[in-house]
């Protein structure tokens, strides 16, 4: 694989600084830097050596000014680290591929289940649902028609030389826990690179909502209809998100926090806080028997 990667970089015709390929220092997978394991290939766009100080035996695509004093890292320096990484991701998979597990799909008539999926006991997957590769679903969970679980997200960057949008191949996973109910036409994007989108036990998601890559939804959270969560959003347990909410990428919604209908959250929401408006602002502390919230 490492020779294929070096060949791909050379074909891109960028300015770069390559060390010689070394079969004794392999590349086994692609990863975001926060999830990097030994022998993964990752990238950083800026000189942030503290993010890799504890990493060992990784290959890092980085800018020319990156501090390269960590002897446990093989550095590939270029003017366009992110763009090179996105091109290289195509060597590890293809967003357009969907290999169906015919035997597993036959247990759920009308549904399409990808290879590498694990479905728990007493789980219902309705006709017209699509479960993409490497998805794990727990016990007693329902996935209604029109859902796409483990879908491909639109992560891309622009190659200014060709004015071409270059997609990142998403190689991550999706996990849905026990006793969840996912209503119709919900989209859950899988993790990007060595990343998992996780929905924990007892989560309820109403029709039309969209969960971004690498998201985390804590136990017993209720997500109303047409809610949009950006990539990397973390929702802690027992939160309530009203209809039409939007949470911007990488934000945290604290335990038992409430977002009122139509709220656009642009900052973290603290635990037990009630937030309303555009942008969402803290209104008051959550209390029991709050109107419109079930099972208080």
Measure the CA–CA gap between 70 and 89, rounded to whole angstroms: 24
* Residues 213 and 231: beta-carbon distance below 8 Å: yes
Tell the residue number behind the tokens 């796409």, with chain if given. 148
Q: Which residues of 206-245 are buried (b: 16+ CB within 10 A; e: fewer)?
A: bbbbbbbbbbbbbbbbbbbbbbbbbbbbbbbbbbbbbbbb
How many Cβ atoms from other residues are within 10 Å of residue 140's Cβ? 16
Please confirm whether the linkage preceding 237 is cis (ω < 30° from 0): no
Q: Give 212-249 as a DSSP string.
A: -TT-EE-TT-EE-TT-EE-TT-EE-TT-EE-TT-EE-T
**Catalytic machinery residues:** 213
Q: What are the structure tokens assigned to 52, written together?
A: 């890799």
């Amino acid at each position: 694989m490492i020779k294929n990667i070096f060949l791909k970089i050379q074909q891109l015709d960028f300015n770069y600084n390559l060390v010689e390929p070394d079969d004794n220092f392999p590349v086994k997978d692609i990863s975001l830097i926060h999830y990097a394991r030994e022998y993964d290939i990752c990238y950083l766009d800026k000189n942030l050596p503290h993010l890799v100080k504890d990493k060992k035996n990784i290959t890092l695509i980085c800018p020319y000014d990156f501090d390269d004093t960590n002897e446990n890292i093989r550095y590939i320096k270029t003017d366009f680290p992110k763009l090179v990484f996105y091109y290289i991701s195509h060597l590890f998979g293809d967003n357009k591929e969907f290999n169906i597990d015919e035997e597993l799909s036959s247990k759920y008539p009308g549904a399409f289940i990808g290879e590498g999926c694990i479905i728990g006991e007493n789980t219902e997957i309705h006709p017209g649902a699509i479960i993409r590769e490497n998805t794990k679903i727990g016990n007693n969970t329902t996935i209604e028609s029109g859902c796409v679980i483990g879908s491909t997200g639109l992560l891309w960057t622009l190659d200014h030389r060709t004015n071409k949008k270059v997609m990142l191949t998403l190689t991550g996973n999706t996990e849905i826990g026990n006793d969840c109910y996912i209503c119709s036409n919900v989209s859950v994007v899988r993790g990007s690179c060595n990343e998992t989108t996780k929905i924990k036990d007892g989560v309820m998601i109403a029709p039309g909502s969209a969960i971004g890559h690498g998201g985390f939804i804590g136990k017993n959270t209720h997500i109303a209809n047409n809610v949009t969560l950006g990539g990397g959003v973390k929702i802690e347990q027992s939160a309530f998100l009203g209809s039409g909410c939007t949470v911007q990428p990488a934000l945290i919604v604290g335990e038992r926090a409430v977002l009122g209908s139509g709220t656009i959250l642009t900052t973290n929401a603290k635990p037990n806080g009630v937030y309303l408006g555009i942008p969402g602002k803290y209104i008051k502390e959550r209390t029991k028997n709050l109107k419109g919230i079930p099972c208080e």
